[in-house]
Structure 1
Amino acid sequence: MQLAQAKHALIDAGRWLSAQGWVPATGGNFSIKTELGFVVTASGHDKGALQPEHFLEFDVQGTHIAGTGKPSAETDLHLALYALSARTHCILHTHSVAATVLSRLTEQPQLEITGYEMQKALYGFTSHLETLAIPVFDNDQDIPALARRVADYHAHTPLQNGVLIRGHGLYAMGADISETRRHIEALEFLFNCELTRRQLEKNG
């Protein structure tokens, strides 16, 4: 994708995600592969009010080549996710309440969801009877260490649509920005359904 087009697509996605309440308090970060590498949001900006100058450009090795501002520490995780999956061309990282709470309630290394028709909105799924298993990784301020754990998981269970960071949020992945936005919307619906189901079972 060309640079200007990539920035415009992420600005539009930021407005939409902010309107949903999924990127509060300048949280989250977005990236897209470009013809030279990838472009990613700089740290500290309201994702609902992004401008072209709020992005940094990196080459395929992760070297900063253009743009001003502070890179997010999580830029290295974006780079690692791109390296793990040639299919991934866009990553949108969000901080919704449902995703964050479910990631803390899930003690296992993955959150398993099944029985919902909305699963079919995700790449690789054709039936509500399949089990969606979203990996959950402990949060870590040491991003290279976190990236290594993600890579170790991918080595035996390839990543598909996204990963959860415990107490932090969702990294949704897709072949382009349209698919990534669809994955976020579907996953957030599923997270809300699953969280509501658990609450009703507990109170019932």
Structure 2
Amino acid sequence: MSVSSTRITLVRHGETIWNREMRLQGSRDIPLSEAGLLQAEQVAARLQGEEHHIVHSSDLQRAHKTAAMIAGTLGVDHEVHVDLRERSFGDLEGLTRSEITDRYPDFWEPGHQPESGLNVETFDQLRERALRIITVIADRYEGQNVLVVSHGGFINAFLHKISEGLYGSGVNKLGNTSITRVIREIDGSWTIFEIGCTAHLNEN
């Protein structure tokens, strides 16, 4: 990694009850479960031996709490961004994936455009939002190590965007508190070098 490259570590939040129930959370502010709190402690312990200069997170409490535990363990500042939120699924939030598939069989297909009345953020809108905010953060902390705590759909949409579909949504599944690492190069390009590592959970 060159001197001016920026290392971004992306962490998905810990488990919630809705995760366990396979219920779509989206922009709903669902708290961490007891298991999720333990996972947040475990990922914080995993990251403790690494150098990170700042932690950024979504404002939704499942990501915010995970990030606060990591920032406290690392002894660094924690900043919050609304644009790091999960994709908004509008009227579909609270439903299970199977309930959504029953009602809208093509909903999860690549390129599917949700019905306008559902108030769902499109996948393209999510990809653009993810790239925009991660780029802003990377440029602000050029040459540093930045940790971002967000959501599975958000992180995968970002990976999908920077890899032109080779990785991310439809390809990778990201477990709770999984670690994904990318580099923002000095020329503005991105390099992906780890996706969805949960070794800290397997060790406990």
The alignment's TM-score, normalised by the length of structure 1, stands at 0.28
**Which fold has the larger relative contact order, with Cα–Cα distance below 8 Å and residues 6 or more apart in sequence?**
2
Answer 1 or 2: which has greater strand percent. 1
